[in-house]
Amino acid sequence: MNVMDIFETMEYGPAPEAASTVQSWLQEHQQFRLFIGNRWVEPASGKYMESTNPATNKALVQVASANSDDVDAAVSAARKAFKTWSKTPDHVRARYLYALARTIQKHARFLSVLESLDNGKSIRETRDIDIPLVARHFYYHAGWAQLMGRELSGYEPLGVVGQIIPWNFPLLMLAWKIAPAIAMGNTVVLKPARYTPLTALKFAEIIQEAGLPAGVINIVTGEASQVGDALVKHPDVNKIAFTGSTDVGRSIRRATAGSGKKLSLELGGKSPFIVFDDADLDSVVEGVVDAIWFNQGQVCCAGSRLLVQENIAERLFSKLRARMEKLRLGDPLDKAIDIGAIVSPAQLQEITRLVAQGEAEGAEKWQPSWACPTEGSFFPPTLFTNVTPASTIAQIEIFGPVLVAMTFRTPAEAVELANNTRYGLAASIWSENINLALDIAPKVKAGSVWINCTNVFDASSGFGGYRESGFGREGGKEGLYEYIRPAWSGSKSVSKARQPQVASEEREESTLSEVNPPAIDRTPKLFIGGKQARPDSGYSLRVIGANGSLIGEVGEGNRKDIRNAVEAAHAASKWASGTTHNRAQILYYIAENMAAREDEFARRIAQQTGCGHVEAVKEVQASLSRLFSYAAWADKFEGTIHRPPMRGVVLAMHEQIGVIGMACPDEYPLLGFVSLVAPAIAMGNTVVVIPSPKAPLSATDCYQIFETSDVPAGVINIVTGERDALSKVLAEHDDVEACWYFGSEEGSRMVEHASAGNMKRTWVNYGAQRDWLSPLQGEGEEFLRASIQVKNIWVPYGE
């Protein structure tokens, strides 16, 4: 083509990025070994596997295929390094992270080219998005390493962290995982995805160049069934951080249940892209390009469901088709390419299958007239209209360049459609009316909400999902908590739990005065939807006091009662939209009414636990103080505002989780109950509570208090009965969003395992007791953070 031709057609000429430096590096290596303890070691199996270029489907190089022996070696190198790394001063760790960031920047172009070659994504994206964000992540976390002692005092690192990353943002996911982990003093064993190990191996060289101590970061390539599985099950790994598919996330949740390993999961999505009729449609079109054709749509937070207000739908679709016709697809190393290659033939086949299914189910498919290259794995940008909300392509994550469009008429309908998914990772809202956009943002169940923008990320703003998109956050201060724990929880003598005492005269006196006179029967029922409800079973359970005598009876709740309680808790969801001031007032009111009955509550505690009156009074007073603490926090544990490098702000909102099921500990019947319920409702959740089965009467005595303290019906629901049986129902219930369990080790395992169905958040004690009287162990941020999830709302500004 000569210059005249170009002027005639206005076609783009090729603008290839040179790959020779990277190609010679690959040739030098031929075979990559494992990176363990800062050395390159042969895999125990002696086996290697190929990494290919998706744009040609030709092999690039071979990488080691590790097995469980190699994982053992890597974990033990990381464990050894942990001893010194965890004690390395903050400033020194900060310097290492800073060195990594600088070294990444020095190799930025190299990494961009290598990432494009190995993954198939366009050089424009790797150069302008992936690699700059990688460096930013290390810089940002160098800052947190520096500030850890001051800003996170009372916390300590977890130990050895196993990290498993996917192929869609290979180096960026590595950075998201490694930077916070090592900043907080942990050491790491990382498994890259089998399709895209190469930038992780180049990063290993960067580790050497930056002089990081041996064993702090270990990189083990290999098959999921070997390396992934061994890492997840390894007894000396303290935490697993995973990004990938929801199905694998679910299997990891089950495999780690009861092991005590901390877990964060960043899983799939089917994110809505909501366009109101007052939106700037030309900006919307560019937004859609970034939402679903960025990285070939292989993005967990891709705006894959286009929800358009009906009256502008046809206009938007025709603008979109015109834009799609002009998208350029081809060689990822061409700088003028919009869409690169699909990561593998298997992924291409899966996209093709789902698109065929969409057509078979009656949706209308539209693709541009131009053809894809025949060599390599390519799929054209695709738009589906006439899609029904329940169809496969509207529900399943396609993970390809396929947009599925539906229409709505009212804002309420938009929210309903947006939330009609099992996922909750991200959402985009497009409207020139900021009031409308900010009204919709809290109603959409998603961890990130982008207003008039999409797919923007920054290290300062946490990222992570609601619902089956997983739990835990990456980035921001909230992401750090995934890699630390309260220092007291690591010490051997955690518990100062109260042991029942031998009956004292004082206690016998008080129990006798209750049991002897022929009292009017006060058998408490269950407390559901603000009313006392008879248990479905029609059975009661005897409550035996510490001195062995019968001190009362409570209803024996069952599956049906839990179901009713969950329904009542959902019906009370308006609690979250009330003011925080109102929630604080109600908590103070509960305290006021409880204080009026202090003596009665103390006697009940003494009766059930066998403690002396003085100690029982102490427990009531601690409960009152706790109610005051959470009344205080109700309007103070708030989110924050981030200033990422863009014109705009990110509102990091603390949102309630929803319905939390909770099983209370035996040690402190009233204080344990109050310590769990108060933070949860202070943050806007509604709760279904199983009181201590041994000592349920302190909780059931609260019924009248709740009734007279303006607690709206359904905010607190109480089902007495067998802790583990009822907890299992809660953990399996698809409409319960989180499950807290304070009971046995076996019960903890059961709750974690059973919760995998809808990937609910869990908080369990693995049978360990805590000192509920201590403000350090019994209240505070740990409880508040378990009661919220952070939603980041991105609000750009300017014309």
Q: Which residues bind ligand NDP (CB under 6 A)?
A: 164-168, 191, 193-194, 223-224, 228-229, 232, 243-245, 248, 251-252, 266-268, 300, 350, 397, 399
Residue 184 contacts residue 480 (beta carbons within 8 Å): yes
The residue length of the chain stands at: 799
Taking the least distance from each CB to ligand NDP, the nearer of 191 and 498 is: 191
Residue 301 CB, nearest distance to ligand NDP (Å)? 8
> Among residues 17, 115, 125, 266, which one is catalytic?
266
Q: How far apart are CB 376 and ligand NDP at their closest, in Å? A: 18
Count of C-beta atoms within a 10 Å radius of residue 579? 10
For 495, the token pair is: 């518990």
- SS3 at position 491: coil
CB of residue 732 vs ligand NDP: minimum separation in angstroms?
22
Least separation in angstroms between CB 271 and ligand NDP:
11
Nearest CA-CA partner of 725 in 700, 757, 755, 750: 750
- Nearest-angstrom CA–CA distance, 516 and 7: 104
For ligand NDP, the closer of residues 279 and 342 by Cβ is: 342
Hey, CA dihedral for 167, 452, 274, 332, is it positive or negative? negative
Rounded-to-10 torsion of CA 393, 395, 397, 398: 0
Q: Are 663 and 687 in contact (CB under 8 A)?
A: no
Token pair, residue 625, equals 């103080």
Kindly state the smallest distance separating residue 352's Cβ from ligand NDP, in Å. Answer: 12
Is the Cβ of residue 101 or residue 173 nearer to ligand NDP in the bound state?
Answer: 173
Q: Residue 691: which residues within 8 A CB-CB, separation 6 or more?
A: 664, 669, 673, 698, 699, 700, 718, 720
CB of 217 to ligand NDP, least distance (A): 16
What are the backbone dihedrals phi and psi of residue 795, each rounded to the nearest 5 degrees, phi first?
Answer: -125, 95
Determine contact, residues 423/271, Cβ cutoff 8 Å.
yes
Q: What is the sign of the dihedral through the CA atoms of 339, 345, 347 and 351?
A: positive
Kindly tell me which of 217 and 590 has the beta carbon lying closer to ligand NDP: 217
Burial environment of residue 575 by CB neighbours within 10 A (0 to 12, 13 to 18, 19 or more): buried
Distance CA 64, CA 41 (A): 9
Q: Are strands 305-309 and 550-555 parallel, antiparallel or unpaired?
A: unpaired
* Cα–Cα distance measured from residue 77 to residue 237, given in angstroms and rounded to the nearest whole number: 12
Query: By Cβ distance, which residue is nearest to ligand NDP?
Result: 228
Helices marked H in 216-331: 229-233, 246-256, 281-288, 313-326
With beta carbons less than 8 A apart as the criterion, state whether 689 and 719 touch: yes
* Contact yes or no for 382/401 (Cβ under 8 A): yes
Are 673 and 689 contacting, i.e. CB atoms less than 8 angstroms apart?
Answer: yes
Q: Based on CB atoms, which residue is closest to ligand NDP, 189 or 695?
A: 189
Smallest distance, ligand NDP to C-beta of residue 228, A: 2
Minimum gap (Å) between residue 169 Cβ and ligand NDP: 7
Q: Which amino acid is at 28?
A: E
Angle at 26 between CA 24 and CA 28, to 5 degrees: 70
User: Where do runs of H (alpha helix) occur along 453-500?
Assistant: 476-480, 487-490
Nearer to ligand NDP, 301 or 697 (CB): 301
Please report how close the Cβ of residue 268 comes to ligand NDP at its closest, in angstroms: 5
Look up 619 and say whether it is catalytic.
Answer: no
Nearest-approach distance from CB 130 to ligand NDP, in angstroms? 13
Closest to ligand NDP by CB, 308 vs 398, is 398
Q: Look up tokens 């003598």; give the residue.
A: 493
Query: Rounded to an integer, what distance in angstroms lies between the CA atom of residue 615 and that of residue 505?
Result: 15
Nearer to ligand NDP, 167 or 630 (CB): 167
Report d(CA 191, CA 228) in Å as an integer. Answer: 7
Q: Is residue 72 exposed (0-12), middle (13-18) or buried (19+ Cβ within 10 Å)? A: middle
Select from 472, 497, 585 the least CA-distant residue to 778.
Answer: 497
Q: Which is nearer to ligand NDP, 142 or 190 (CB)?
A: 190
Q: Compute the least distance from the CB of residue 244 to ligand NDP, in Å.
A: 3
| Contact between 669 and 698 (Cβ < 8 Å) | yes
Residues 6+ positions from 106 with CB-CB distance below 8 Å: none
Known catalytic residues are: 266
